[in-house]
Amino acid sequence: MSARRPVELLAAQDLSPSVRGLELRCIDGEPLLFDAGQWVDLHVETPGGAEKRAYSIASAPGMDDPARFELAVTRVDGGLVSNTIHTLGPGARLEIDGPHGFFTREATRDEPAVFVGTGTGLCPLRSMLQDALRQPPGPPLTLLFGCRTQADILWRDELEDWSRSGRVDVHVTLSRPEAGWVGRTGYVQTHVAELVATAPRPHIYICGLSRMVSEVRRVLKQELGFDRRSIHSERYD
């Protein structure tokens, strides 16, 4: 088990009606060394006592200040830790341990990739994409992001910048679109087949709640014949 490190909350802001973005910094000022896609355990004092929960790092490794990193937390109805986190403001002190996890592109950086995420499942995908975009242009990268309404689109300006740059083929699908939305609608699993139909076949990175992850994996394996070694996933529940 890795050692716990104190961190300070530098800034917190609502990214959507249910998601809070957190900007944190290791108080010792030493870099947080991690691979894009990994997560940390966040230790939080809640009304029910000390608890820890896993959160994917939403920013790329090695930023200007490598002790700094971002998380984004969905407020879960009745959830002990996520509701506590949503009350925290700048200056709050917490602890992390990690990084942890194997949901990374370290072994497949030179391969085309399709990223599929819903809600805060976008966090590790954002880290991987920010990381890739700091490198010279490489293999094709596609993002399929699903959420309920336009208000739930996380980091919308950044997604639009990626799309405009031509470096990432960005697709957003809304499960409860409001009138006037002209983009994709419905669940991510109904759009996956179209977006992965490229040659050579891409690696697929899927992140979010288990039901979505299982359904996308089923489509890829059973309907499209993807090898499980090219399907990488992280489940939040």
Ligand X SMILES: Cc1cc2nc3c(=O)[nH]c(=O)nc-3n(C[C@H](O)[C@H](O)[C@H](O)COP(=O)(O)OP(=O)(O)OC[C@H]3O[C@@H](n4cnc5c(N)ncnc54)[C@H](O)[C@@H]3O)c2cc1C
Cβ(43)–Cβ(94) below 8 Å: yes
Candidate segments 8-16, 24-32, 67-75, 181-189, binder of ligand X by CB under 6 A: 67-75
Shortest Å, Cβ 7 to ligand X: 15
Cβ(100)–Cβ(41) below 8 Å: yes
Our finding on whether 196 is near ligand X (CB under 6 A) is: no
Our finding on whether 10 is near ligand X (CB under 6 A) is: no
Q: Where are the alpha helices (DSSP H) in the chain?
A: 80-85, 122-133, 156-165, 192-195, 210-218
Nearer to ligand X, 20 or 171 (CB): 20
205's CB contacts (< 8 A; 6+ apart) are: 37, 103, 105, 113, 114, 115, 116, 124, 125, 128, 232, 233
Candidate segments 8-16, 29-37, 48-56, 147-155, binder of ligand X by CB under 6 A: 48-56
Candidate segments 29-37, 49-57, 159-167, 196-204, binder of ligand X by CB under 6 A: 49-57
Candidate segments 74-82, 86-94, 104-112, 157-165, binder of ligand X by CB under 6 A: 74-82
Hey, what's the torsion of the CAs at 99, 20, 80, 36, to 10 degrees? -20
Nearer to ligand X, 39 or 226 (CB): 39
Our finding on whether 35 is near ligand X (CB under 6 A) is: no
DSSP conformation letters of 175-225: SSPPTT--SEES-GGGTHHHHT--SSPPEEEEEE-HHHHHHHHHIIIIIT-
Which of 13, 14, 30, 54 touches ligand X (CB under 6 A)?
54
Which of 16, 59, 82, 127 touches ligand X (CB under 6 A)?
82
Shortest Å, Cβ 81 to ligand X: 3
